[in-house]
Structure 1
Amino acid sequence: MEESLLDDQEGPDNRSVIETLNRLCSIVEEEPDLHAICNTFRSELSKYCPSEAIELLSYSNDPKELLRIASSTDEPGGSRIRFDDDSSSWIELGKPDALYIFTDVKEAPFFVRDMAEKAGSSSAAIFARRERAGKRTILAVLAKEGYDISSWEKSESLVELLRGSAILLEYCKLISDMNNYRMDFLSLFDLIPIAIIQLDEKGTVKSANNEAELILGSGDPDRGIEEENVFKEESFKKSGIAALVRRALRGEDAEAENIRFRGADGRNRYLFVKLRSIIGSDGKRQIIGILTDVSARIQLQQQLERSYQTLTEAFHELQRADKMKSQFIDVVSHELRTPLTVIRGYLDMISHTRGDSLDPKLAQKLDSISLNTDRLYEIVESMLDSARIEKGAVEVVKQETSLKAMLEEIVASLRGLANEKHQELLLVDVGETGLVQIDTKKMRDALKHIINNAIKYTQDGGKIQVTLTDEGNMIHIMVRDNGIGIPLSEISKIFERFYIVAADELSHQVDRMGLGLPIAKGIIESHGGKIWVESEIGKGTVFHINMPKG
């Protein structure tokens, strides 16, 4: 019965169209829910055309895509609609804001047939909106089975109703998208690890993200920081944030570092604050601000400053202790030198005046005393030389000398020591190298220290090789051994005073003081030369010396 009455209707008049659209507008204003709007529109349209479903679609031509925006059915928004190339061409070539009536959906494009089949409809009305930004909105009315939809072709008021409904649904979709964007923005707004606040021209906080609530927290979990006024709250005034807001409201730069802010939780924080004044959509001035909690950085900085102060004090204490040590060594060395000189003098006198008449056992004891006195004297001299080098008080008296002859003499003097360990000590003959300007005594001591060091740190039966090479302006000396080697971590330390490389293989050597190499380095450098080391554990060590000829 209802269908026969509807068949006689020619469609709504203009007044009915306006009333229907007004009702739809009211619903949009109250709750812009696309699914609800589609169902309301279907209900309103049933007065003129009973339908199985209302579908709002969006077609994009790049890329080609047909999506369901909303439906009066339970089909979700955003789902894809199946279509073919003919459907695509039909949509793209169709007239804008045109109504297409299909009394038999078998003659309709594929996408219409597919929707009608799912809805149980055999006729349909398709209203295609004009293209905007590469997209067209399509409103599909899938009529109830048995309803003659052909009368719609003569009804201009129905076309206007569909056009108005399509526009309303587009607007509703825009509002829905904006709400979704707003929710996404608010979620992002709250996830940002920087405090962001918005204030009005009176200094009242109108919005704040989670980080701002955490940093500036009012202590009221129900109210939060919003609606607080920075010009009235003591924490904002004392910290200086209120003064920055006033500057920003005057259009001035408002930025400050290390602002100390005490929150309602009683915690002190150090903040970086930057504020900017903008004009809102209402024409009033607003303040947008970012605040970063730099407390961790400040605490680290303060801790570093305290550590630096502690290290500085420790360094000065070490310097003082080192100076006292140097002074002690200097004083002790000088104090020992005088009595040792006297002892050596008396021993020489006894040896020369009564050497032949002494009891053999007594003579042997005197020789032992003399030998150990000489060793002790050498140690004292080394300590004094080390002290002079440390003070930069090495006096160099240069004269022309043959380094080759000097090395031959040193090697010959130390061969006996090498023989005691069954070592092979060699001076490689490289021909004449000419004369160099050096302090003969000091350079002899330096080279002797280096070769003696190689003998000490090479196992019994090892080999020490000394090489002299003329390199133009320089004389290059190498002292190579196949001894125990020096750990990489200790190479930089071997020229420090009193430093001794640990060597289990040579634990029987107890006559090492760690002064020979530092003295050698000081003497070589005082001549403008350079000394460096290459070493490998278990394979040996090479000392390199470059000495200028001049």
Structure 2
Amino acid sequence: MKILKDGIGHEELCNLIIPSLPIGFVAIDTSGTILEFNREAEKLTGYTRNEAVGKRCNEVLKSSLCDAKCPISEEFEQTKIIKEDTFLINKSGTRIPVSITVTSITDPTGKQYGIIELLRDRREQEKLEQHRDILISMFAHDLKAPVAIAGGFILRLLNGKAGELNAKQKTYLETVYREIQRLENYIHVILEILRLEAGKVPLSLEECSLEEIIEEIIDGIKVKAGEKKIKIMMQVPDELTIIKADSKQLQRAITNLLDNAIKFSPKSSEVYVKVKPVDDSVILEVEDRGPGIDEKDLPHVFDPFFKGKTKVEEGEEPGSGLGLAVVKSIIEAHGGEVWAQNRPEGGMKFWFKVPKHGGQE
């Protein structure tokens, strides 16, 4: 046994690490018998280590994985890692929300000796999600209604329902009405982001061609690009990339990326849209030749209301800071990821990766 610094061996080190882990740790052999059980697992389940070790895992953990998704079953792939938000029933019968991560214990030859389950307590996270639901409800009812009512009355005034307006009154009311419409749009977008992140907007998944979606978007955005003499260049595979996605939501995400690229691109430049199938996923990239973003701002570009120091081109309206946040919410709702980086040659590159076969259960 190799001796580490301070005279601690590997076995002794493991005996120190496992009990000290800040998450539940359960080791299970191929027959489903619990081999190891740490302190956090004791707290979550209510069983002591002595009570748990030697018992069948479904007698102690009692989670949804114990049924059709049991990782001990023959169908479980040794290289697969299961991650799932579920619940377990503890010793006293209380339902405990947890995040479970499961991975196989194998030797270098691939022989399986069992599995490791990591348990994270989700009770605090569920409280936060409940607060988010309250916030969604507040936006949906307590904020939208008075803004809509105020806008309706101003529109009546503009239509002369309370008497004729002079030119100055009309100008003032038009300004107020325009700002109320903008506020109403902000509330709508924020509400949509919250619902997407909370999984409250079910995606209508269907097979669709990513290239056809992009072509339709480019046709619709050509006029805006043409005003700045910007060429939109499309680089796609020879064969159509068919994915299972919500085509309307995906169209919105790609449109937001292209709108952003055009807004920050100099006149007479190019914006590139690239599609790259990778295994069971597809990557879409949008590149511009604009000024890029300060490196310290990059981690925040997808945050709602974030506006970096990058100046928009002359004649462009500054954005709300919500467009890229919407992109992130839509892509993550599809089980995908988004990134942003500065191009070494200048400009920005935004890209996202989504599974071809749909990511929402």
TM-score normalised to structure 1 length: 0.34
Which of 1 and 2 has higher RCO (CA within 8 Å, sep 6+)?
A: 2
Structure label with greater radius of gyration: 1
